Amino acid sequence: DTGVSQNPRHKITKRGQNVTFRCDPISEHNRLYWYRQTLGQGPEFLTYFQNEAQLEKSRLLSDRFSAERPKGSFSTLEIQRTEQGDSAMYLCASSRDRQDSYNSPLHFGNGTRLTVT
């Protein structure tokens, strides 16, 4: 179990640029989640994949955000035309495919910290 891996760890970009983050989940986990965390706040749900299917999206996920999980393995989160308000830690989590939440806890990566200047 190598854990959830996220790259890059840090990204600094200028307003208006596009950025893409990558998440590699734990290998046997079918479910993958993206969260956003700003300073002093708890993680906020963005979107969720079951294998390659994107099953749920938060209202926080504006049209400038897009997430993919080709072949149900790694996932990418792209932000187009970044704004200063996008500055945050973007967290990826994965879990097993179990109906019972108690038996399918979320395992988080260490996140990608985005700074938009």
Question: How far is 25 from 73, CA to CA, in rounded Å?
Answer: 7
Question: How far is 44 from 46, CA to CA, in rounded Å?
Answer: 6
Q: Which stretches of the chain bind other proteins, using CB under 8 A?
A: 4, 31, 33, 40-45, 48, 50, 55-56, 58, 91, 93, 95, 98-102, 104-111
Q: Which of 75, 80 has the CB closer to other proteins?
A: 75
Q: Which of 5, 80 has the CB closer to other proteins?
A: 5
CB of 26 to other proteins, least distance (A): 13
Neighbours of 78 (CB within 10 A): 13
CB of 84 to other proteins, least distance (A): 22
Q: Which of 47, 82 has the CB closer to other proteins?
A: 47
Long-range contacts of 54-62 (CB under 8 A, 24+ apart): 60/36
CB of 16 to other proteins, least distance (A): 28
Residue whose token pair is 């640029």: 17
